[in-house]
Structure 1
């Protein structure tokens, strides 16, 4: 095994640095060689149907798209909601990356902290102590569309999963709803397809410099031209350097990005595009700001509390501001190196027969260091233990009001991890377009037809190598000591445990898709139809090497095929207004190799959507937009309940005695957290010891629950925990060579080598409105609204486990009286219609019929710009934007610290919601001539009102400003 050297890239930077320098130098040289005017008459080349026509775009308004059918088409004719974010809008809002470009897009959530079916993303930097959910993915291409998480970002139709600089983006096209027909594997809320800047007909050379608060500096160089020669050689090169600080302590990032694009025509009817990207980003101090802290601290093993900590509040220090502190210190980091190359050729065999051949190769490498752990008590060095006060959540909902208090002998127990992740993607796409007309001389019967036949093959190889603190060893920190944690040392300055190899994961995913799309128009182009079918074949192969256990585990899901379809119709009521209806499907293959509780590879997640809307283009194009209503049903969502029964594991022997390790579940163990359950059950314990039903092997206590005395003790503790709710009774489910109980067959990976998932269903419905209004040539507005209703239709169904409560083992983990798992705060009878049959599990507390998601019900955003053309203010532009969102459910149900659900006066589970939020941004620009060159100065101010409130567990960023100067060279 070749070990990785962390904090160093495996690919030499010097080669790419030379590549970047050469690209910029070539651009400068070509700019110097090209002439401003052609000496010969310019030859006219017909635009390929695979290239979007932006000739009629004006300001923030775009008329055509390439994303809806993969062919250049008018937005008004496509029966689906398509939003285009133009280059001018990106520049006016001061966006520097793709996510910022989408900030004003209807129904999109850029930062989440409660994701239905997903929970906190434990593989992200900061882990459970990062309050942001799946959108914190280190690729920075994850967001929510219509309530569904997506990372399906495309660059001109090819998949991209790492951050992209906005300087390279020519336009962004957002297609809402499932879009499997053209894009195969993807998300159900929508697809984001951005198009890079291409060589222009006119010579371009521009530089932009910007500075701002929080240590911001950015420099952008752009150069492009199309040569007037036989091959029509064109180029466009973008190079960026950016560095930023943060309003939080220590955090900084540094980024370099370069993207050269070259086009040429080897023949009159063939065009070749070479599109390249390369980026480096280094982020320091990316670990948690503070740690989640529960008031019901009980376990001596902090790892067992990780899942239960996910929605707890954060530890605070008297000398630190919770919104800016970074307790994890300066030694965490995330370094990213990425590159992409796209080779594409289009050829026109005739006026109506065109071919596209494309190949895309990308690679991204993440090197990171992170710290994890949490607050526990009664472990570690006594000199690092303290008494603390923890407040996981404050609730004011009727008379359901509580606060947690003092915890003694508290300590932070943690570990460090180094992680190297490399993702290689290759994709090939071949598309043939044939179009023809029928009855072209008839106004009524005139029929225009277009067929697109396509084939796409995509492979993704992911390798993840992890090192971590030695197994079962930890470093410790005083939870009242706010000084920065440092790698390699404890809070008292002594050396922390060493690091060791932990695991090496190798995954291969493969998708093959064949599709045919028909687009036709009738009745003098008043009626347009788009329909198609697609067949996907998906495969997954995985291998995990566990260095600690010295094991190699394979997970081969096997190839599966899936058919999807789409049909939509647009009808123009007149030249200004059209209506459309759409039915579409989506598919997300099981590329993670997830298995269900029966041990079988899970099917692909699928979705069906129904949508209807109206598109309008009024006042000679001054007012345009779309209003649509939709419903999306998602089926087969993998939902993970680690305590669910998994019959396929088959490790429990129902014919043998039921044996539990009760080292942590008996009243003889001294611990401050011992509770009333054991006081009540003390006589039964004494009887079990006297009869030999409770016995010791080495230093561990065991209990034969098949004996009358053992059964009596277990029943007494369980019943006391259910009825008197005395608090945490201890951990019962330690497994070793001496145990035999049904919990051996539960869903978690330690029970049989793999995590087992249930299959659930989710639904999103609502309506959206997008308006683009330009009443005059110097005034334009964009207004977007989204109403989203997100519902968990089915929270998954437990299988029928044959040895349940009425059978052999009635104390299995899925029957345990806990508020966060097991019975989830409910009685046995309320959680199971028939306690003897685990398949009657009701999923109470886990979302069925609930939202379980923080997508706001209402979201409204707008941006307006006014340009002064005359008078003393000539050359000035003023922009003002806002984003409003209603309450967001950031906490979908809480317990009171002893395992009991908190309910309001109506008996409903208490959920926590953020306050509504309004953010205002502003822009001022002055355009002028500097000699004979165009120049501008632009000021963007974000969060003008300096809102720094907490929305759930995430604080609003304070006011930031960016002052920019740009000029032509």
Structure 2
């Protein structure tokens, strides 16, 4: 049975129960109630009291229309007026002034920049560079929990179709299920207008910006009150960087009608297409380690180096990857929803949402290496540190000879097909209505949501173990299919096919009640989720098929909050909530079991105020969020479930690259001091050759002596590289056979870690009169790693059989990571006593700024010579951001400077200023306007970490009613 058939089967069962419950309750009402006219559904937000930037009600906090000041949670509403004044053209721009939200990150809690996005490790932006354009940080946690009127959306939308944006901070699993720890964003589309309207907006700007928007809406006065609202957009953009440009089209018709007075049906559709050209890396990371004989190798994906620069190019605008990379996106979304009011106090919602997005992309990857490829394309380059602008880094750098760019091309087609069904029943009733003290208002919401997501990814790439080459001093654009000297590059081959199916089923019950003449409001609920995952990976190069079916998991979450009105205009609230992110990637732990869902718990308290007859409103809140079960990957960690090591047999190592006879540039003093022990091992037969390779029996006394001598010498000669000890073949037998990487046993094994975010936020909306508006937001965020993951107890450790396993190796970047055996393991015979020194416990490993402040003001003139003009001015301030934490990717690589100290780099503080000027006027009998938006008024173009600020942009638009 397909996932859609299963979805519908489950849906029908719940639908019958829902309808039966509704019919049973409805049968208890009299005919007079049935004839009452249906007005506003409780599932639809009431925006009638909204004014300018101020909104009074929300639909996102409880899935029911409710006053923001009564909901015990922090809720921010971004109105249509604010979106228009700031000139936002997409959802991310609409959120730019939202407190504590980060739209662009480059350091993400140990995940680094290797997110499989365009540009790979050379893309200086982290998780927020996700091609769906729905990834951002809220309260320090990465999230892509973007909703369209409560239904999950994971690709971009146009701001022209957004009626308002509602931001709910903190975990919110109760109503929205998976994937929201820092918060969720729920945007509501524009609905049919009461009167006929048509409007067109045209805009031009620098960097080749052209945009046209057409909008039309009406509600017909017929038997079914048929209404429509249609939005159509065409936009083109260039970039301040070389070559990059995009072209997109978007159309979104929404229809509503009422087959009965008490039933409303909504048909909401979207279609979007966007083509982006020249999206590859601007430059590559130029890394070198001079103590390793000038080898500049980037294939380990470390990010410790700055970017390669050319005398004839500006580093901030260059695009060395050339014009042949692209990202083309095509998406559609259809939402069918019906609400019915059986009585004033009994309402039902039934909805179905289906969406599909297809990404076609081409990317180029690679890095600087040396002594390979055509000699005519090799040159000498200068390797620079990670932050040459501020000089904070003390990385080893200098000249690298025989350097060359070695790379490959890849094509990817990714299709995501998502379906979601929701059914909700709302029943409300009052008790003791005549008693001011004991009067009780009750509202219950019973809901069921089922969501399936099917993803198919097909990749092609340059023929395995073949590469194209480019001279690293040649600044000309790389081109697909050719080398830097014009010769043909290797062709492409089919690489892999990935098919994943994830499924979430959630049932939730929410209670909202008010007592004491509505002075006390409580919101509480419980939810049960069942999550399933099926994965299949076909690797055509290795001729392997890997299936991942960790089995279904169930999880209960809850939420409880209370608001108390101290006065008519001042309330306090407290909230406790939970969040959940199922293991949709099918990650397994070190014991081979599917990992549990990542969960989060939050505690929050705050004050809400609505004063001066609604002129001043806002929220001040303090919170703490703890996330538990975060998958952390240390490739060298022990994984007992692999079970490949035989502790009863002799310990055998392949030492072809780990002995004094190796003729390699990286050979160093670790081997020299062990030459007598090596000779003794050879004489005793403990070191021997087999099929041309050297092996060492580390169970024999002579083998033990040699290994101990090299290990002890490595501690003092570090960071000298003693060769590669952990090559495995049919003749080896050692504990490193059971390490965490997929190379041992077919799957990557993850540890479980914990992270925490705490702080406080403030949001203010002030409108002293009808002509002035102010919005001010502040967020203080403290982000830290509580637990960097714990190694399991591996029974064959240093105190058991194999004391030279990879997790004991005295390396500065893995193994002991530069620490002594006793410092890294409290008990070396028990691997579970691993201390994780240098891997983040108590540290940030994240670039969320400690302080962020944003504000926007608008002043409109109604009289005099400047009547019709309005002016807006906004700013965004961020304190320092930790863009480099020493741990740079999921493998946990530790980075130290030349003095052996942990490298942590921070950006400078940053302030950005935007401005707007608008003139409203009449063009004949039609309303019209001209608006100018200027972004980055100060033209700040400095580098903040690895990312340069965009130069000044302007947009001039003209709009009029038709």
TM bin (shorter chain): over 0.9
1:441 Cα deviation from its structure 2 partner: 1.4
1:292 match: 285
Cα pair 1:98 1:163 within 8 Å, conserved: yes
- The one of 317, 331, 340 aligned to 2:324: 331
- Choose the corresponding residue for 1:278, options 264, 271, 276: 271
Contact 2:288/2:295 (CA < 8 Å) preserved in 1?
no
Task: Name the CA distance, whole Å, in 2 between partners of 1:270 and 1:418.
Answer: 48
Q: Deviations over 1:839-886 (max 9, x none)?
A: 111111111111111110000000001111111111111111000010
Query: Kindly tell me: are residues 397 and 60 of structure 1, through their superposed partners in 2, closer, same or farther at Cα, counting changes over 3 Å?
Result: closer
1-structure distance, mates of 2:229, 2:290 = 59
| Separation of aligned partners in 2, 1:809 and 1:493 | 52
**2:185 counterpart residue number:** 192
Matches within 5 A, 1:562-711: 562-698=555-691, 700-711=693-704
Matches of 2:790 and 2:192 in 1, distance apart?
A: 55
Residues 586-608 of structure 1 deviation map (CA, whole Å, 9 limit, x = unaligned): 11111111100000000111111
1:177 aligns with 2:180: no
Q: Contact 1:866–1:878 (CA<8 Å) still a contact in 2?
A: yes
Tell me, in whole angstroms, the C-alpha distance in 2 between the residues paired with 1:913 and 1:904.
19
**CA apart distance, 1:250:** 1.1
Distance 1:474 1:88 in 2: 53
**CA–CA distance in 2 between the matches of 1:298 and 1:638?**
34
Task: Find the partner of 2:53 among 49, 60, 63.
Answer: 60
Matched, 1:964 2:937: no
Superposition deviation, residue 750 in structure 1: 1.7
* CA distance in 1: counterparts of 2:577 and 2:215, whole angstroms: 40
Q: What SS does structure 1 have at the residue aligned with 2:751?
A: strand
Q: 1:395 to 1:894 in 2, by over 3 A?
A: farther
**Equivalences, count:** 923
Change (3 A) 1:680 1:396: farther
> Is the 1:394–1:402 contact (alpha carbons within 8 Å) kept by the matching residues of 2?
no
In structure 1, the partner of 2:442 is: 449
Aligned counterpart, 1:38:
none
Provide the rounded CA distance (Å) in 2 between the counterparts of 1:433 and 1:238: 32
Matches of 2:646 and 2:363, distance apart in 1: 41
1:9-408 matches, within 5 Å, as 46-296=39-289, 305-394=298-387, 401=394, 403-408=396-401
SS of structure 2 residue aligned to 1:872:
coil
> Quick one: distance in 1 between partners of 2:426 and 2:297?
57
Q: Deviation at 1:248?
A: 0.9
Separation (CA, whole Å) in 1 of partners of 2:719 and 2:408: 32
SS in 2 for 1:602: coil
Segments of structure 2 that go 5 or more residues without pairing to the other structure are 1-35
Contact 2:626 2:754 in 1 (8 A): yes
1:431 is matched with which residue?
A: 424
Residues 290, 398 of structure 2: 8 Å contact kept: no
Q: Distance in 1 between matches of 2:400 and 2:603?
A: 53
**Aligned with 1:782: secondary structure?**
strand
CA contact (8 A) 2:288 2:296 kept: no
1:791 to 780, 784, 788: 784
Choose from 457, 478, 483 the match for 2:476: 483
Q: Cα deviation per residue 1:537-573 (whole Å; 9 max; x = unaligned)?
A: 1111111111122121111011111111111000011
Contact 1:300 1:378 in 2 (8 A): no
Distance in 1 (alpha carbons) for counterparts of 2:961 and 2:688: 84
Residues 106-148 of structure 1 show CA distances to partners (whole Å, capped at 9, x for unaligned) of 0001111111143323311111111111111111100000010
| 1:76-126, Cα deviation, whole Å (9 max, x unpaired) | 000000000000000100101000000000000111111114332331111
Q: 2:409 aligns with which of 382, 407, 416?
A: 416
Change (3 A) 1:654 1:302: farther
CA distance in 1, matches of 2:727, 2:738: 13
Is the contact made by 1:904 and 1:910 (CA closer than 8 Å) also made in structure 2? no
1:510-589 to structure 2, matched below 5 A, reads: 510-589=503-582
Q: Which residue of 2 aligns with 1:720?
A: 713
The aligned counterpart of 1:471 is 464
Which ranges in structure 1 are unaligned for 5 or more consecutive residues? 1-42
Following superposition, the deviation at residue 396 of structure 1 comes to: 11
Match of 2:7 in 1: none
Q: What residue number does 2:947 align with?
A: 954
Instruction: Tell whether the 8 Å contact from 1:108 to 1:144 is kept in structure 2 after alignment.
Output: yes
Confirm or deny that 1:732 pairs with 2:725. yes
Residues 884-934 of structure 1, C-alpha deviation per residue, up to 9 Å, x if partnerless?
Answer: 010111111379xxx9864799x9734111111101111111111111111
Summarize the Cα distance change of 1:683–1:900 in structure 2 as closer, same or farther, 3 Å threshold: farther
Name the SS of the counterpart of 2:865 in structure 1. Answer: helix
For 1:716, what is the secondary structure of its paired residue? helix
Instruction: Give the secondary structure class of the aligned counterpart of 1:804.
Output: coil
- Over the residues paired in the alignment, what is the CA RMSD in angstroms? 2.2
Are the aligned partners of 1:531 and 1:568 in contact in 2 as well (CA < 8 Å)? yes
Distance 1:495 1:737, change over 3 A: farther
Q: Bigger shift: 693-702 or 506-515?
A: 693-702
In structure 2, the CA distance between the partners of 1:688 and 1:798, relative to structure 1 (3 Å rule), is same
Compared with structure 1, are the counterparts of its residues 816 and 396 closer, same or farther at alpha carbon in structure 2 (3 Å cutoff)?
Answer: farther
Give the Cα separation in 2 of the matches to 1:604 and 1:175. 22
**CA-CA distance at 1:659 after TM superposition:** 2.7
1:961 & 1:549 partners in 2: Cα distance? 51
- Choose the corresponding residue for 1:458, options 451, 459, 467: 451
Calculate the TM-score normalised by the size of structure 1.
Answer: 0.92
Q: Report if aligned partners of 1:629, 1:768 keep a CA contact under 8 Å in 2.
A: yes
Equivalent-residue separation in structure 2 for 1:910 and 1:743 (angstroms) = 29
- Residue 12 of structure 2 corresponds to none
Task: Please give the secondary structure, in 1, of the residue aligned with 2:413.
Answer: strand
- 2:828 corresponds in structure 1 to 835
Structure 1 pair 738–338 and aligned structure 2 pair: CA distance change class (3 A): same
Q: Is the 8 A contact 1:677 1:726 kept in 2?
A: no
Go from structure 1 to structure 2 and tell me whether the alpha carbon gap of 1:494 and 1:810 turns closer, same or farther (over 3 Å shift): farther
Distance of 2:395 and 2:367 partners within structure 1:
22
Distance 2:294 2:259 in 1: 67
Cα distance, 1:300 vs structure 2: 12
User: Which stretch shifts more, 764-773 or 838-847?
Assistant: 838-847
Q: Distance in 2 between matches of 1:602 and 1:93?
A: 43
Q: Distance in 1 between matches of 2:187 and 2:72?
A: 20
Measured in 1, the distance between the counterparts of 2:661 and 2:210 equals: 63
Tell me the secondary structure at the aligned position of residue 69 of structure 2. helix
Matches within 5 A, 1:912-951: 912-951=905-944
Higher mean C-alpha deviation, range 441-450 or range 715-724: 715-724
The farther-off stretch of 811-820 and 625-634 is 811-820
Higher deviation after alignment, 682-691 or 768-777: 682-691
Deviation at 1:721, TM superposition (A): 2.2
Structure 2 contact 115–127 (Cα < 8 Å) conserved: no
**Structure 1: how far apart are the matches of 2:106 and 2:916?**
29
- CA drift at 1:310: 2.9
Name the CA shift for 1:183/1:839 in 2 (closer, same or farther; >3 Å): same
Distance in 1, Cα, partners of 2:617 & 2:101: 21
- The answer for the alignment partner of 1:774 in structure 2 is 767
What is residue 837 of structure 2 aligned with on the other side?
Answer: 844
Residue 744 of structure 1 aligns with which residue?
737
The TM-score, its normalising length taken from structure 2, stands at 0.93
Matches of 1:925 and 1:760, distance apart in 2: 51
Shift of 1:833: 0.9
Is contact 1:825–1:901 with CA below 8 Å preserved after alignment? no
Q: Are the equivalent residues in 1 in contact too, given 2:166–2:186 (CA < 8 A)?
A: yes
Q: Secondary structure at the match of 1:873?
A: coil
